[in-house]
């Protein structure tokens, strides 16, 4: 059976009317499954029993099952969810002062093979549906209220997977998040991080999605980037740069550049110069990220002196630079660490 959430409001209205029910019932059902995120049709108590039975007979309503929950010393919380087909994904809730951010997964695993990322060891299993992504956010929102006393303030597509390779479902999820019939959040609170899918970046611009765009660049040397990030073979830096120029021309939105500092790999002053050159064609904010070690890659994070020299060089070029301190490292919830260890061990 198809999940009820695969129907849009128009299709749901057609289904309701075909059963000789009044059309307003469709809006009620839609609110139950999205705004209230109910776990079963029986919970839809303002619907006639006959309509609830019809829904149960014709549709499914698969919910995420919480398999694991860990809280870091810094209060970040990592959730492991089991999907209807028994695949596993991870979602992270990150508190900071009076804000909380949810880091959302867009795919089961990832097929891009970035050498420094634990998720790459899973390989690609499948794309997540819009409702599987939405539900991660809905649950995180309720958890934020419970643990931190306020709803989530920001959403980042920086979890497992490459969101621009699941474009249609990600955009559908964003539409639900920002809709009054969903969470009613502003697009200003949403950031999508991509490894650099040029076609997807252009599509975001053409579709006027107007969320924040972050590029997981990490290396501004084209040859070295291809070595560490195979996606650069089909989306080389010159092509990515042109896509980002196009994005800025269409949207006038500043782009965030994510740059993971790896000791003796991409942290020299020469590397900083290459990064500055890459960033000169559009307004950027550079987020420098410390490397988070894991069992599946042997890289080391840059030392404090190198990091400071890197920052000083970029700031002399009048670039906006932030050093982003990772949270959740002790529970493998930080950047580059998301990967269900059981799935990886089973694969190995």
Question: At 44, is the secondary structure helix, strand, or coil?
Answer: coil
Number of Cβ atoms within 10 Å of the Cβ of 252: 9
**DSSP string computed for 244-257:** HHHHHHHH-PPEEE
- Contacts (Cβ under 8 Å, ≥6 apart) of 54: 19
Question: What is residue 72's three-state secondary structure?
Answer: coil
Per DSSP bridges, beta strands 88-96 and 77-82 are antiparallel
Q: At what angle do helices 304-316 and 269-278 cross, to 10 degrees?
A: 40
Bridge-based pairing state of the strands 124-127 and 320-324: unpaired
**For this structure, is 90 an active site residue?**
yes
Which candidate in 110, 114, 117, 335 is catalytic? 335
In 3-state terms, the chain is what percent helix, strand and coil (to 5)?
Answer: 45, 20, 35
Q: How far is CA 7 from the centre of its chain?
A: 23
Active site annotation includes 335: yes
How many angstroms separate the CA atoms of 145 and 102, rounded?
12
Residue of 21, 90, 143, 290 with catalytic role:
90
- Lookup: tokens for 229: 């990030």
> How many distinct helices (H) and strands (E) make up the chain?
11, 12
Nearest to 132 by CA among 73, 187, 84, 95: 84
* Residue numbers annotated as active site: 90, 335
């Amino acid at each position: 059976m198809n999940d009820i959430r695969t129907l849009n409001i128009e299709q749901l209205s057609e289904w309701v009317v075909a059963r000789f029910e009044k059309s307003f019932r469709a809006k009620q059902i839609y609110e139950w499954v999205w705004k209230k995120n109910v776990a079963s049709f029986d919970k839809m108590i303002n619907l006639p029993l006959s309509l609830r039975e019809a829904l149960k007979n014709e549709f499914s309503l698969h919910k995420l099952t919480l398999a694991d929950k860990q809280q870091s010393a810094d209060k970040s919380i990592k959730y492991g969810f089991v999907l209807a087909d028994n695949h596993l994904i991870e979602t992270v809730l990150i508190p900071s002062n009076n804000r909380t951010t949810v880091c959302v997964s867009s795919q089961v695993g990832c097929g891009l093979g970035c050498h420094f990322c634990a998720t790459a060891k899973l390989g690609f299993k499948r794309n997540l549906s819009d409702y599987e992504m939405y539900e991660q956010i809905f649950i995180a929102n309720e958890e934020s209220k419970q643990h931190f006393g306020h709803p989530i303030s920001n959403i980042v597509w920086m979890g497992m997977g490459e969101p621009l390779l699941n474009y249609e479902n990600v955009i559908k999820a964003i539409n639900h998040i920002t809709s009054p019939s969903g969470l009613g959040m502003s697009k200003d609170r949403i950031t999508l991080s991509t490894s650099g899918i040029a076609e997807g970046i252009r599509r975001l611009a053409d579709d006027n999605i107007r969320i924040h765009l972050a590029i997981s660049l990490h290396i501004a040397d084209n040859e070295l980037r291809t070595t560490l990030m195979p996606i650069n073979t089909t989306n080389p830096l010159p092509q990515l740069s042109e896509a980002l120029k196009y994005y800025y021309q269409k949207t006038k939105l500043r782009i965030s550049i994510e740059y993971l500092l790896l000791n003796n790999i991409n942290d020299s002053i020469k590397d900083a110069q290459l990064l500055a050159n890459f960033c000169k064609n559009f307004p950027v904010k550079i987020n420098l990220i410390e490397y988070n070690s894991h069992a599946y890659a042997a890289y080391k994070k840059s030392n404090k002196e190198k990091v400071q020299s890197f920052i000083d060089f970029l700031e002399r070029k009048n670039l906006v630079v932030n050093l982003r301190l990772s949270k959740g490292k002790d529970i493998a919830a930080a950047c580059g660490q998301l990967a269900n260890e059981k799935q990886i061990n089973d694969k190995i």
